[in-house]
Structure 1
Amino acid sequence: MPALLGWAAVLAALLLQPSGPVALAAILTVIVLCSFGVMQRANALARRLGEPYGALVLTFAITAIEIILVASVFLGDQPNPGVARDSTFSASMLLLNLVMGAAFLIGGLRHRRLAINGAGVSQYLVMLLVVGGAAFALPVLLAAPPSRAMQTAIAVLMLLTYGVFLHRQLGANRADFADASPETATDEPALPNAVWLIATIAPIVVLGQVMTPMFTELLPRPELAGLLIAVVILLPETFTTLSAGWSGQGQRVANLTLGALVSVVGVTVPVVLLLAAATGREADFVLSGAELTLLGMTLGLSTLTATARQATALHGVGHLAVFAMYVMVLVA
């Protein structure tokens, strides 16, 4: 089972203290296999609980991994003030362009059109504009680096905004996030799948922390560490989203990608800001002009998809093209 394999790898890593590219490749392989196990458990929970609860279980787990990995790098011996910015921006490009684009392309080619609920997607986009603006645009607008009090105020604002969104998503606005053609509900017990989901995700967290010093040693540019952290974190979400696209579940694709990004930005950034305020370390969230442009293009494409209320293969191609631009900017 993937969980047992993951814990065996954790034990080996603790005993052998691995290093070098071969060890890094081996750890990544185990993480990929664990991610498939996470996907299976998450899909089983989604069939049992329905949307948006099924997507939220996986989303919260992914967010927890993000916070642990980013905090471990941010508080490490070698300062990396931009790790939270790099990982969250990379997550934005990966989730909204690569993962969602590939899912829409696969689903569009197989089913021609994927129905999405425009009301639900628009609420995700409103949240992304607010928490993304507070995280990435506000530092540019401020005349000077934010003080500890300002960092705390920004963090509290983001957490309160996300809390209100979550309350509405699970309450009065729940129907806006339901899939138009949900999978048949099952009576399979949810607790065993939830336990195995956590047991399979936990070794990914530990192995991610083992990889952190390897990133510093092997990567020539610090921003690549943020990208690789985002890749590791989002592997379970990626496989689950592609499976939803293959099944023609357009709203589940949106719930998994947009919902995960709202949680990643709306929770990870405030946590890092609070850590920076508490420890006196610098947290850099300023994006370059090229990065802000790519983020604006991505949100614009997502808005057009929400307005159409149906996703097609062409929508997927558009998002994949923006991801290709992101890669060009990254390697330039």
Structure 2
Amino acid sequence: MKKLSMLVSLCALMSLIGCKEQKEEKKEEVKFLVTNPVLKDTAITKEYVCNISSIRHIELRALEKGYLQQIYVGEGQSVKKGQLLFKIMPNIYQAELGKSKAEANFAEIEYQNTKKLSDANVVSKNELAMAKAKLDKAKAEMSLNQVHLDFTEIRAPFDGIIDRFHVRVGSLVDEGDLLTELSDNSSMWVYYNVPEAEYLDYATKVHKDTKMKVNLLMANNEIFDQSGVVETIEANFNNETGNIPFRATFPNPKRLLRHGETGTIEMRLPYKNAMIIPQKATFEVLEKKYVYVIDKNNEIKSREITIAAELQHLFIIKDGLATTDKILLEGIRLVKENEKIAYKLEKGDAVLSHLELYAE
């Protein structure tokens, strides 16, 4: 009876050991999901706060002193090149022009009489030259007074939109006083500042003969319906901010954009043959990015990587990985350095197809 009891206990013990071994085997059979980096043409979108300016925005100022006699346009009105805008009382300038015309006529008569006498050898050639100089001086003064009279009329130098008035009819204006501003909004210049590192990305990724297109996000969070072109980059960086100004030109056929507006420039930088991995395959230690790489012995090894750019759910890798590397995609917090694991490999293209990728 005692032997039978020992035999039963031994069987029970062997059964428990067998169950434990089966559980351990099942635990070892847990497979982690692994993937590999993918090479793909893509692009990232950078955003920059911007200021919007008319391609021509000028001040219209009085060219002569006098009372403002007439305003021929309204604030905010579109005007054409050469259109009369303001008129300063011209009486004094008209009188001066009349006086100079009379003097020029007198000098002309005097010159003609002297010329006849000179042809008859009655007066010397020097006296004729003096009469000619007097006539030229009178004509020059008449031309000058004509210019002064013309300056009493201020006309639009180009097609544009009139800003608010700084004077009213009857105001006494002095030479140089500001009357209003005029904006040519047919096209707009949009200025924005780019950090040095992003400028270098732009300079190395965009062909020098290619003009990059950009989009404008307006203040109402809507994209402007015209694309702009980056045409100008200033010569020097701002040493205080580390930025360099860019200028993009936008056509403005509907005159929707106005001088002084603000917005956000969206600039897409192309990345040819970029190495891409999911963001969730990475972890951070002391502000450095790492991934777990599975070596030939199926052991986990952490490896530092350098990020070139960030997309939604994705990183573009600058350094640290090769396309042949196998990186841990899921279960990063469940493994330890040098631990041996079982895994299931899912191709990088298949993994990316489940993520939002903005690619060309």
TM-score range, shorter chain: under 0.3
Report the TM-score when normalising by structure 2: 0.18
More helix as a share of residues: 1
Q: Relative contact order, CA 8 A, sep 6+: which one is greater? A: 1
Larger Rg: 2
Report the TM-score when normalising by structure 1: 0.19
